[in-house]
């Protein structure tokens, strides 16, 4: 029995299998009647590391290390999934902070779109899905609801595990866009943990 246990120890001590993910989610911005900008960052993990509130300069908390690879977006009208469009693969590395920003053009006004961010590196693959609705034309009259915030203070979040509750409340009113007038957490720190990622994947914003 002991022999079998010791034989397993080298396997248990091995590092976890490498992964890539979109740990900071996707941000949708500058949506017009015919275009939108999508932003994502390729990360080495799906969730932040060192999820503790006590910051240490030698080991910063809520870290989201980036990952080398390639990123692209796939987008389609929600009512017509057969009309999928793919952007070209774009390489990301430390020089770009592992980020990629893509403008989608020739979209239809007042139309809901689904999208998927895709990442790859060697045999590794990652995806992150979301949606947005384009603006109506300048000549159209349409009622809309939007939400506004200023800065957010991460240490004071009212849900330690899931982040600021306000982001979940914002989504209940189905806002057309999110106007953030304050600071945004840096991609490598606490965006997902603060509750932003679930909001940004469905709500276009201006930043």
pLDDT band at 159; cut points 50, 70, 90: confident
Instruction: Calculate the CA 32 to chain-centre distance.
Output: 20
Mean pLDDT value of segment 160-184: 80
Residues 74, 165: Cα–Cα separation, whole Å: 30
Q: Looking at the DSSP assignment, which residues form a beta bridge with residue 91?
A: 70
Mean pLDDT value of segment 129-137: 93
Tens of pLDDT, residue by residue over 91-116, are 999 999 999 999 999 999 999 999 99
Residue 155 has pLDDT above 80, yes or no: no
Mean pLDDT value of segment 156-180: 80
Residues 26, 196: Cα–Cα separation, whole Å: 10
Residue 2 has pLDDT above 70, yes or no: no
Task: Answer for the pair 103, 146: CB distance below 8 angstroms, yes or no.
Answer: no
| Phi and psi, residue 200, nearest 5° | -65, -25
Tens of pLDDT, residue by residue over 4-50, are 444 444 444 455 677 999 988 898 988 999 999 999 999 999 888 87
Tens of pLDDT, residue by residue over 38-80, are 999 999 998 888 776 666 677 777 788 999 999 999 999 999 9
Better-scored residue on pLDDT, 176 or 101: 101
- Tell me the pTM: 0.78
Predicted pLDDT at 43: 94
| Phi and psi, residue 206, nearest 5° | -125, 130
Residue 205 has pLDDT above 80, yes or no: no
Predicted pLDDT at 197: 60
Better-scored residue on pLDDT, 117 or 23: 117
Tell which CATH classification among 2.60.34.10, 3.40.50.970, 3.40.630.30, 2.60.40.380 matches the domain 17-206. Answer: 2.60.40.380
């Amino acid at each position: 029995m002991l022999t079998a246990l010791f034989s397993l120890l080298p396997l248990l001590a091995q590092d976890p299998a490498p992964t890539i993910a979109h740990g900071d989610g996707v941000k949708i911005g500058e949506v017009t009647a015919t275009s939108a900008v999508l932003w994502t960052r390729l990360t080495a993990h799906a969730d932040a590391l060192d999820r503790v509130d006590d910051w240490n300069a030698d080991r910063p908390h809520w870290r989201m290390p980036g990952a080398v690879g390639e990123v692209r977006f796939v987008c389609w009208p929600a009512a017509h999934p057969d009309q999928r469009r793919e952007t070209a693969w774009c390489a990301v590395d430390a020089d770009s902070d592992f980020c990629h920003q893509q403008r989608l053009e020739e979209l239809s006004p007042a139309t809901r779109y689904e999208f998927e961010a895709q990442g790859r590196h060697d045999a590794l693959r990652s995806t992150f899905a979301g949606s947005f609705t384009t603006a109506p034309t300048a000549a159209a009259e349409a009622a809309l609801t939007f939400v506004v915030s200023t800065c957010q203070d991460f240490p004071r979040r009212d849900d330690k595990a899931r982040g600021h509750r306000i982001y979940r409340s914002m989504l209940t009113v189905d806002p057309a866009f999110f106007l953030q007038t304050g600071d945004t957490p840096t991609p490598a720190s606490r965006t997902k943990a603060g509750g932003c990622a679930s909001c940004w994947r469905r709500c276009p914003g201006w930043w």
